[in-house]
Amino acid sequence: MVGKLKDRVLKDALKCSFCGFCEVSCPTNFVIKRNYTPRGRIGTVIFALKNGITTIESVAGIFSCLGCGACVEYCPAEIDIPEVVRNFRYILRTEDTEISDEVR
């Protein structure tokens, strides 16, 4: 079940060209660190699902997404970024990835 979801989430995330058009619309962009931006979150998903890398800081970026969808309008690849993030959060929880209390 989660395996199939992972494939779907990764497939969506891989559409990202890392152009950054989404960033300025994101309410958490003020943090500046790239993991707190939509393209950073998509990058985080790719590094996790393709390369098996997650870090505490990257996971914090994933859980900082407000799900407001402001980024979606500006994504040239038409990725539903909040949907990818929501599904990835589910994967992290299901797989019992280390998530600190601060970001839960």
* Residues of this chain that bind other proteins (CB under 8 A): 11, 14-15, 17-21, 23-24, 32-35, 40, 43-44, 47, 53-58, 74, 76-78
Minimal distance in Å, beta carbon 70 to other proteins?
12
Nearer to other proteins, 63 or 74 (CB): 74
Of the candidates 64, 76, 57, 83, the residue with the CA atom closest to the CA atom of residue 26: 64
CA distance linking residue 97 with residue 52, whole number of Å: 11
Minimal distance in Å, beta carbon 96 to other proteins?
19
Q: Which residue has the tokens 């790239």?
A: 34
Nearer to other proteins, 5 or 47 (CB): 47
Minimal distance in Å, beta carbon 86 to other proteins?
20
Nearer to other proteins, 60 or 82 (CB): 60
Of the candidates 45, 53, 81, 49, the residue with the CA atom closest to the CA atom of residue 66: 81
